[in-house]
Amino acid sequence: MLDSFKLTVDYLSSPTISFSILTVLTPIVFPPTDWFDRLNRKLGFHLLWTHAGLAIAMLVITAFFVIGYMDANFNIILTKADNFPIVLMVYSIYYFTWLAMHKAYVNDERLEKGLKPSEYNDPDDKVLVWPDLVYIEFIALILFTVFLTVWSIVLAAPLEEPANPAATPNPSKAPWYFLGLQEMLVYYDPWIAGIVLPIFCVIGLMAIPYMDINKKGDGYYSFKERRV
């Protein structure tokens, strides 16, 4: 069973298969038009953003780690202290995606009924920066500092040996934040992967504020009003 599970994960994780699946599923899970929205609801994908959908997704993620824990190699990776944040990141990425979409769907239903978004506040109901906001942020700062301090003491995250200029590791590994670029070098010419695509990404991010002329969905979660 474990071998079959590993083969299935390896097959679905291959770039050609995973990219094809994501290309098909993305417009269905995040419908860009009314037609895709009807398809989304017909197939039941909108249930992903309900509380039941959150519970099922968390169980699926947990089951993946539990089954993977039985594999010797995955066990070594999973139980390394410095990989613990990655496990938390997997859960947190889905949770916060779910939270945003859940609130967006709730607001879309409220707007269709002619109600105000759930984030709407009376303009006269104001919160002062001092002391209200600063007080809350200061408490959060203290709590998070304590959490990081305890975490760094309790959880071992060993560093590698000092760099040796006389010995270049093979293969040479980039820092984690360059992982995407390093992976693209496997499939594209270095000029395209290292220069052209990153430039397009940077220019695209810079252009978003000038291309986004939609004034709706400002200050509250909404999906239908913020599709484009």
Q: What is the pLDDT along the chain (228 residues), one digit of tens a residue?
A: 777 888 888 888 887 888 889 999 999 999 988 899 899 999 999 999 999 999 999 999 999 888 888 888 888 888 877 777 888 889 999 999 999 999 999 999 998 888 888 877 776 777 788 888 899 999 999 999 999 888 888 877 666 677 777 877 766 666 667 777 777 887 788 888 888 988 998 999 999 888 877 777 777 888 888 776
Tallying the residues shown for the chain, one arrives at: 228
Tell me which residue range forms the domain holding 91. 2-226
The total domain count for the chain is: 1
Q: What is the dihedral of CA 18, 24, 30, 31, to 10 degrees?
A: 170
- Confidence at residue 141, expressed as pLDDT on a 0 to 100 scale: 95
φ and ψ of 143, to 5 deg: -65, -40
Indicate the pTM of the whole model: 0.75
Q: Which long-range contacts (CB under 8 A, 24 or more apart) does 35-38 make?
A: 37/224
- Confidence at residue 139, expressed as pLDDT on a 0 to 100 scale: 95
CB 31 within 8 A of CB 101: no
| Residue 102 neighbours by CB under 8 Å, 6+ apart | 49, 50, 51, 54
